[in-house]
Amino acid sequence: MKGNDMLVEVIGLKAFRGTLDGKPIDSASLFTLVRLDERYNKQEGRDLNWKLGHAIEEWKLPSADHAFRLAHLKPSMTNPIKVRLEVERVSNGRESREIVTEALPVDRSGNPLPDPLVPSKPVAKAVTA
């Protein structure tokens, strides 16, 4: 079953590929801005409930390569990058969660950007006689 696509604004990345205590590790996360739910704000009476602005959400990636493909875009708070996440809901029989199966950078129009880890095809030069 194919997951759902989700467009997010990435403001940070982290990745690690190596060994820790003799165990191989290949992990990565991206950090996105998510809007706080203001629908139930209450400012009157005895009970107050207030949320405004954004929070930062961490998404685990399948491997460090997924973060390396985004690193050249240098995401930050002042330079968020658009990324299309393919997300799948999985369960262990008792609890369910969302996992990222793919993370693809896109331009502001939603078109995929070239993958820097895949060599580009050389442009054929016209032969003149």
Residue 25 exposed, middle or buried by CB count within 10 Å (0-12, 13-18, 19+): exposed
The answer to whether the beta carbons of residues 96 and 90 sit under 8 Å apart is: yes
Does some domain include residue 124?
Answer: no
Does some domain include residue 127?
Answer: no
Q: For the chain, what is the domain count? A: 1
Does some domain include residue 121?
Answer: no
Tell me the C-alpha distance between 117 and 16, whole Å: 17
Does some domain include residue 34?
Answer: yes
Domain that includes residue 95, residue range: 4-105
- pLDDT single digits (tens) 38-62: 888 887 777 787 888 999 999 999 9
Does some domain include residue 110?
Answer: no
Does some domain include residue 89?
Answer: yes
Tell me the C-alpha distance between 112 and 83, whole Å: 9
Does some domain include residue 66?
Answer: yes
Q: Which helix (H) or strand (E) holds 66?
A: helix 64-71
- Here the CATH number for the domain that contains residue 72 is 2.40.50
Q: Is the pTM above the cut of 0.85?
A: no
Q: Is the pLDDT reported for residue 1 higher than 60?
A: no
- pLDDT single digits (tens) 63-85: 999 999 999 999 999 999 999 99
Higher pLDDT, 110 or 118: 110
How big is the chain by its Cα radius of gyration, in Å? 20
Does some domain include residue 115?
Answer: no
Tell me the C-alpha distance between 55 and 120, whole Å: 37
